[in-house]
Amino acid sequence: EPAGCQSTNEVYPEKLKTLASLLLDRFDADGDGALCLHEARAMFRSVAGFESSDIRNPGALSTAAFRHLCADSVRGLCHLELARLLDAGGGSLGGASRGHPRGLSDCGPWMSASAVTGRLAAGPSEQVGETCCALQLLGEEQAVDGPKSKDFTSTYSTWQGRSVGSGSISHRQSFRTEQRQLGGPPALSALEDTASIGRVVQAVRRNDSAVLSELLSSNALWSGPNPLILEEELHQLLGTECVRFPLLWLAAFIGGLEVWELLTKEALGQGMLQQALEQDIEGWTLLSILCLATAKELPPGGGAVPKDSLALLKSYLRQLDGTQGFGFRTEPLLLRCLFLPQQEGKRDNTEMMRPLQLLLSRDTSIWPSLVSELVSDKGGGFPDDEEPARMSLVSVLLSANFALGVFVEACAAAGAAPKPGSQSFAGLYLGLLKDAVSPECSSAALAVLLRAGLLPGTPLTSGAEHWPLHAAARHDRADVVEVLLLARADPYARNSRGQTAGDVARKSRSLKAMAALARGAQSAPHAVMKGKEQHVLEDAACGQ
């Protein structure tokens, strides 16, 4: 995309909002900013090209269906709900979008992009630069930001026209009558299909399992169990470029266990559960969404039932095992709730750690239990082989929030405590030495690791390159040096390069660490130091 241009993902929701505004202007007769049942029926009939209000008419809208589409059935469809309904149809109320063919036969006229009405295309390559479907739908002569629209009737295929086919029945009516008699998918029109998906999405948003069960029983999701829907709150929370997410992600975000299990059962029935569970969007996975707090979640005692992420997570792991999704678990699942994949030139460390930041934003009565479940046998255990550099980022966040102790205890509760001497354990130690961790937080984190098995006088890993005292000296963390010396760290031990902690401190110009080493060397209960080395440390500490 040219520099300075809006991305497709920014244009799409704006187009939806524009179309929703145009529809409101056209059909909101009382001007209250919402479409009541009577006004919505007029809009649906107009879109479908019918005048009849027969309940079997795809353009008709029952009271029950309308109640499921909007939060306030008295006031009616508001602007946001209308935009979401348009999105459920792939960018239109009735168009059979090329991006969302709804599973219909390739040879049928339904595959025409203008089968029922004009549309705002859903595919990324189609979203920008096309005439807004509202212009065809409403008969406007001038596009909002594009060329003039052709007359709507001129885009009809023969079967679509309003011309009389046999007696008083139009070609379109004849076609739909034939489709009803053939059976097949229960949604007999793209408009009806859009309304059904809109009702499903609204039931998920409301956490209404009873309505959702009824809709799924009527095969409302016959065209696919996990359609993409517009969800700007999730988009803002995750910081993604994408603004559309799978329906199952919305269910996981809202947090209703019964709704979640209904949708996963539907996906299983259509043979698409494993694909739904393993779907990845810009590095984010469904697993991370399950662990998020929702905007509607209140603290315990706040009058609302918090999202039960633990129950959702257990259900997820159980169903992942049922689908034998072993290819998804090439690494412990905990990592997917700690990091986003590195993308060269696109993500800095803060963006990579966004999943862990969101996890730690939850109450301490919630997130430790999630960590325990993730490192259980079903989750693949603790990632002991993870690179120290990456695990140090985890340690920085945990240590700076006084949360490292809770994290280690949660892992230990599942029998998967970090192993001293492993790559990950070394990373947890190296993280507490970073400048972003205050001395107070660093001391607390170091105490946690010492209790967990950190040996001050031995290498952090089998390669003997990283030693606790040497690393603290390199980062000029005098406070950590002092604690390690008190814990009987050997100031004269040499790393794989033959360097003592003092050598590392001098090379790094870590004056505070050098002073701490000099003080500790005088009282350390170790073998007597060579006189030359003792003088070097003392001179460096005095600035000579």
Q: What is the pLDDT of residues 75-92, one digit of tens each?
A: 999 999 998 888 887 676
pLDDT for 528 beyond 90 = no
State the pTM of this model. Answer: 0.75
Higher per-residue pLDDT: 431 or 10: 431
| Arithmetic mean of pLDDT, 370-384 | 93
Q: Which of 153-157, 274-278, 395-399, 515-519 has the lowest mean pLDDT?
A: 153-157
Distances in Å between the Cα of 136 and the Cα atoms of 130, 376, 423, 528 are 12, 56, 62, 91
pLDDT of residue 306: 67
Higher per-residue pLDDT: 21 or 109: 21
What is the spatial distance between Cα 185 and Cα 187, in angstroms, rounded to a whole number? 6
pLDDT of residue 190: 62
Higher per-residue pLDDT: 263 or 105: 263
Higher per-residue pLDDT: 122 or 197: 197
Of the options 1.25.40.20, 3.40.718.10, 1.25.10.10, 1.20.1290.10, the CATH number for the domain spanning 383-541: 1.25.40.20
pLDDT for 437 beyond 90 = yes
| Arithmetic mean of pLDDT, 184-201 | 68
pLDDT for 462 beyond 90 = no
| Arithmetic mean of pLDDT, 297-326 | 70
| Arithmetic mean of pLDDT, 49-57 | 52
DSSP 110-168: GGSTTSSS-----STTTSSSSPPHHHHHHT-SS-SSSPPPPPGGGG--GGG-SSEEETT
Q: What is the mean pLDDT of the chain?
A: 76
pLDDT for 230 beyond 80 = yes
Contact 82, 24 (CB under 8 A): yes
pLDDT of residue 119: 33
What is the spatial distance between Cα 299 and Cα 294, in angstroms, rounded to a whole number? 11
Domain residue limits, the chain: 1-220, 383-541
| Arithmetic mean of pLDDT, 198-203 | 91
Give start and end residues of each alpha helix (H) in 163-222. 171-182, 190-206, 209-217
| Arithmetic mean of pLDDT, 199-218 | 92
| CA–centroid distance for 92 within its chain | 25
What is the spatial distance between Cα 9 and Cα 18, in angstroms, rounded to a whole number? 15
Beta bridge partners of 284: 281
Phi, psi (deg, nearest 5) at residue 59: -90, -5
